[in-house]
């Protein structure tokens, strides 16, 4: 009984202190962004880091007690510093932002496509400025594909920060979970993952496709990846011609050896994992069949047979 009374007393004391702070402290406001899929731990860290709440532990306990972990709305919020935890949680559960814009960024999109969607949805004012930041900070491949909630007419810098934070949350931990081979680094992993993203149709093939590209790089063979040629052309073209394969560009991996200078799109988590944890195969060739899947081979002769078979099937023979 004494412990219960003590707990109640402490709770009342904390509430009284928070209310006093909320009323009498300077009423400075802070703008924050809660990414889609954030849990109570991640949200509490954002709130605490921006001095919106005093205790992340108390906020997490409050969320658990009220069973509202899945009810907190993602998006942009404006709070006064040192707001009582109960008010913060109530606002995040109940307040729907009329100005919030839901924007979905698919896996495998290049930065120009993302900029165009953001502009058309009224999130940013200038595609050109957005792309200038992307190029200056080498962010192609780092604009993590996900569903976002933005406000209208945000600054390009604010939107870029949201993408960076979401990448750090979803992809950055993978580089600690998996050991990157000595001959690779994080940026090279992202480049390969971006090619895998554009090649793979089925999740179960991502690790196989990644293995082929890694095997080719180890043998110092050209990647000969169609998506890199498409990136060099400036758009995702289907049915490349022999003339396309001859385009003189550092992104044309039929024309130059090694990796292209940057990622060619923003890959999803599964493609990055596929590069960090590839299938254990020796194949250095693959060709698409008429189902969207691929046939993998070690020997060039077998690869040619697979190509011929795929061609016959497409022609209905």
- When pLDDT is averaged across residues 81-105 and rounded to a whole number, the result is 80
* pLDDT confidence tier of residue 209, bands split at 50, 70 and 90: very high
Last residue of a domain, one of 148, 170, 192: 170
Kindly state the percentage of the chain with pLDDT values over 70.
89
Given this model, what pLDDT does residue 240 score? 87
Cα Rg of the chain, angstroms? 25
Q: Is 127 found in the same domain as 83?
A: no
Per-residue pLDDT tens over the stretch 229-277:
999 999 998 888 889 898 999 999 998 999 999 999 999 999 999 999 9
Task: Confirm whether 316 is domain-assigned.
Answer: no
Task: Flag whether pLDDT at 287 surpasses 70.
Answer: yes
Terminal CA-CA length for the chain: 83
> Cα 37 from chain centroid?
12
**80 lies in which domain range?**
18-94
pTM confidence score: 0.75
Q: Is 129 found in the same domain as 87?
A: no
Given this model, what pLDDT does residue 23 score? 53
Given this model, what pLDDT does residue 14 score? 60
Task: Flag whether pLDDT at 26 surpasses 90.
Answer: no
Task: Flag whether pLDDT at 59 surpasses 50.
Answer: yes
Task: Confirm whether 50 is domain-assigned.
Answer: yes
Q: How far apart are CA 103 and CA 99, in angstroms?
A: 13
Q: Is 149 found in the same domain as 61?
A: no
Q: How far apart are CA 111 and CA 140, in angstroms?
A: 6
Given this model, what pLDDT does residue 17 score? 58
31 or 122, which is more confident? 122
Last residue of a domain, one of 120, 148, 170: 170
Q: Poorest-confidence range of 95-109, 220-234, 260-274?
A: 95-109
Question: CATH number of the domain that 115 lies in?
Answer: 3.30.1490.480
Task: Confirm whether 13 is domain-assigned.
Answer: no
Q: Is 275 found in the same domain as 208?
A: yes
Task: Confirm whether 299 is domain-assigned.
Answer: no
Task: Confirm whether 295 is domain-assigned.
Answer: no
Q: Is 200 found in the same domain as 262?
A: yes
Q: Is 51 found in the same domain as 134?
A: no
CA dihedral of residues 167, 85, 63, 164 (deg, nearest 10): 0
Task: Confirm whether 243 is domain-assigned.
Answer: yes
Beta bridge partners of 34: 75
Last residue of a domain, one of 54, 70, 94: 94
Task: Flag whether pLDDT at 20 surpasses 80.
Answer: no
């Amino acid at each position: 009984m004494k412990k219960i009374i003590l707990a109640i007393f402490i709770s009342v004391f904390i509430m009284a202190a928070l209310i006093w702070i909320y009323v009498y402290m300077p009423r400075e406001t802070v703008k924050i962004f809660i990414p889609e899929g954030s849990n109570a731990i991640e949200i509490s860290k954002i709130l605490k880091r921006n001095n919106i709440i005093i205790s992340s532990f108390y906020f997490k306990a409050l969320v658990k007690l009220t069973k509202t972990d899945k009810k907190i709305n993602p998006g942009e919020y404006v709070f006064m510093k040192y707001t009582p935890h109960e008010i913060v949680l109530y606002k995040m559960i109940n307040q729907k932002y009329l100005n919030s814009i839901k924007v979905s960024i698919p896996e495998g999109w290049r930065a120009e496509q993302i900029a165009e969607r953001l502009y058309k949805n009224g999130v940013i004012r200038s595609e050109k400025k957005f792309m200038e930041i992307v190029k200056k900070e080498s962010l192609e491949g780092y604009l993590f594909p996900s569903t976002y909630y933005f406000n209208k007419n945000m600054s390009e810098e604010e939107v870029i920060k949201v993408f960076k934070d979401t990448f750090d949350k979803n992809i950055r931990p993978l580089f600690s979970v998996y050991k990157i081979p000595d001959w690779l680094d994080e940026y090279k992993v992202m480049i390969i993952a971006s090619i895998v993203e554009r090649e793979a149709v089925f999740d179960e093939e991502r690790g196989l496709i990644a293995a082929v590209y890694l095997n080719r790089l180890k043998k110092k063979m050209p990647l000969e990846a169609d998506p890199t040629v498409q990136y060099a052309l400036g758009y995702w073209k289907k049915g490349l011609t022999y003339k396309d394969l001859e385009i003189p560009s550092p992104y044309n991996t039929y024309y130059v050896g090694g990796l292209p200078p940057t990622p060619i799109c923003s890959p999803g988590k599964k493609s990055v994992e596929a590069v960090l944890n590839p299938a254990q195969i020796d194949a250095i060739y693959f060709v698409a069949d008429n189902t969207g899947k691929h046939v993998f081979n070690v020997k060039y002769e077998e690869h040619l047979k697979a190509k011929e078979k795929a061609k016959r099937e497409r022609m209905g023979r």
